[in-house]
Structure 1
């Protein structure tokens, strides 16, 4: 316990003792201020969420704030690389992040995210068992799978009715000169280069990656633009009529234009999962748990599909969806189709650096 010292007693002390007492006082006051700030921060009714655009419905955020009284500070990123860089540069800023699965394993390895007490999430049981122990998080202790999807081919049949397109390798046809939309994502684009060479999208061998780069160089005349953020709008407005896209964006576009078709490539395709994680230095971890448990409710997760049209990992929510959504093969392909899918996983730093270098060269051409 801190004991007060009178002015007279302080003045009667030897100079060095008085200075030491003053120093101790300053240290104690500083610690008290730090402790108080930490207490206030820990008890703030706020949760800071950093996620992909449109992957957390605004309606869900509004409902969460109303039902819990916890304010959501919501920010978005455009790529896993952006998320990763921001996490490295900004410490103690976010309570919940939403990396893609292959970045989860990287963050586990680097100690960037903490284990999640699944017993504290009473609604975790709603998650489809097929997503609970993925390759990127085998124990399922570091991440909560949220939405999933497929990267495939879209085509506007009003413009390409006579052209047969059913696999990635068809992109190299001269008939698609200056026509293709490509995702602005190095891994996604290299996945195509690798798959058309009958290689794994998770390849790490430098020589094989070099071959994929050379193969992609031959595709450049057919590439019209790279884009991630406004894919559905570009397709709806017919600024692009063929290319690669995530199935949810194509579904949105097809609702506006029935001539839009989504194709699951016959030469295989990449499947992805975007999952929630709690950073190791999260400032409000208790609120992070409240947020996660809230959105895992079946009725809440169902809103996500009906508002944004991303397929969800929440089996209980899926069972409550309208039949028109459940039967849509763009969002929910059958098991035979999914058998051609390959989950994207993490690759080593050398492979990432190689892909990044080739990616910059591709975009400079």
Structure 2
């Protein structure tokens, strides 16, 4: 009997150990390559349960719905880091457990959305600009977002399927911040976008690369990483960062409150902060890396490419997305729904 009890105890201890040797990762689709997950599993012996989402709103709703959602790593964009830290949805990060934190570019640290990076680790970043197919339009004929209101673009524009991104082009055209919370300014931006509706062909955020390559849309807005990847297959594509300003976005790793496997989460973060891993990931997903050690080791033709790594002078025209208050967010969503329904 005593031997049987011992076997039962050993079984439950082994089960508990196995259960602890996992990591639940929930990130944007298409940005964390399979090989990175597989390499982490091989090096650590930790089993990764990997799932993805296509919008910050989906991720946020899941974590708001349950305080014990079970995720250990998530990847909110800057303005959701801002929102979630204020709502006590994120764990404070212990940087003493991240020996590779030093690899990050200081330009992407201590931003307004997370002072001192208490809650976030920058993973990828990018800029939202205007794409043009040179076979259809002269790239030098477009320098500002406001140029897209020209009637010659009737039923031609592809815009991102993202309310904050789309409102940013109207806000910038009107001389406002992309993070504006003033109800009158938001209304003016909505009315400005209504005027643009005849020129809009489609809203799309996923599958953009294929659309660009196949020339199913030849002018509109896109993320620089998608344009860079599409340009490899279609050299007629050009990318413009508008003179009236543009969105700079940063997607960050974070640890949710009540993460069940925190120590494994730190191991994953430190792994992803390694220069060799960050370099391989950037070469795979084609987005700029905030990991300076990795950036310095990238091929020269990538480091010098202004689509992926714009000059500091150009980046000064960019503005990082921040959270807006609840009433402003509701207003954005209300007007966004109206726009998607045709006005």
Among 103, 107, 131, which residue is 2:108 paired with? 131
Tell me the secondary structure at the aligned position of residue 229 of structure 2: helix
Q: Distance in 2 between matches of 1:67 and 1:108?
A: 31
Cα 1:281–1:40 change in 2 (3 A) is same
Q: Which residue number in structure 2 is paired with residue 114 of structure 1? A: 91
Cα 1:295–1:215 change in 2 (3 A) is same
**Per-residue Cα deviation, 1:161-214 (whole angstroms, up to 9, x for no partner):** 387111100110111110111111000001111000011111001111011100
**Is residue 157–residue 199 contact of structure 2 (8 Å, CA) maintained in 1?**
yes
Q: Which residue number in structure 1 is paired with residue 141 of structure 2? A: 164
RMSD over aligned CA atoms reads 1.6
**Is residue 301–residue 314 contact of structure 1 (8 Å, CA) maintained in 2?**
yes
Greater mean deviation of Cα atoms: 143-152 or 77-86: 77-86
Tell me the secondary structure at the aligned position of residue 116 of structure 2: coil
Q: Which residue number in structure 2 is paired with residue 23 of structure 1? A: none
1:88 aligns with 2:64: yes
Tell me the secondary structure at the aligned position of residue 74 of structure 1: strand
Runs of at least 5 residues in structure 2 that lack an aligned partner in the other structure: 1-8
TM-score norm. by structure 2 comes to 0.93
Tell me the secondary structure at the aligned position of residue 139 of structure 1: helix
| Displacement after TM superposition at 1:41 (Å) | 7.5
1:189 aligns with 2:152: no
Q: Which residue number in structure 1 is paired with residue 28 of structure 2? A: 52
Q: Which residue number in structure 2 is paired with residue 223 of structure 1? A: 200
Q: Distance in 2 between matches of 1:258 and 1:189?
A: 26
Q: Distance in 2 between matches of 1:265 and 1:163?
A: 11
**Is residue 125–residue 249 contact of structure 2 (8 Å, CA) maintained in 1?**
yes
**Is residue 23–residue 49 contact of structure 2 (8 Å, CA) maintained in 1?**
yes
Greater mean deviation of Cα atoms: 181-190 or 75-84: 75-84
**Is residue 151–residue 245 contact of structure 1 (8 Å, CA) maintained in 2?**
yes
| Displacement after TM superposition at 1:350 (Å) | 0.5
| Displacement after TM superposition at 1:78 (Å) | 1.1
TM-score norm. by structure 1 comes to 0.88
**Is residue 57–residue 303 contact of structure 1 (8 Å, CA) maintained in 2?**
no
Q: Which residue number in structure 2 is paired with residue 6 of structure 1? A: none
Among 68, 86, 104, which residue is 2:44 paired with? 68
Tell me the secondary structure at the aligned position of residue 228 of structure 1: coil
Q: Which residue number in structure 2 is paired with residue 212 of structure 1? A: 189
| Displacement after TM superposition at 1:42 (Å) | 8.6
Q: Which residue number in structure 2 is paired with residue 147 of structure 1? A: 124
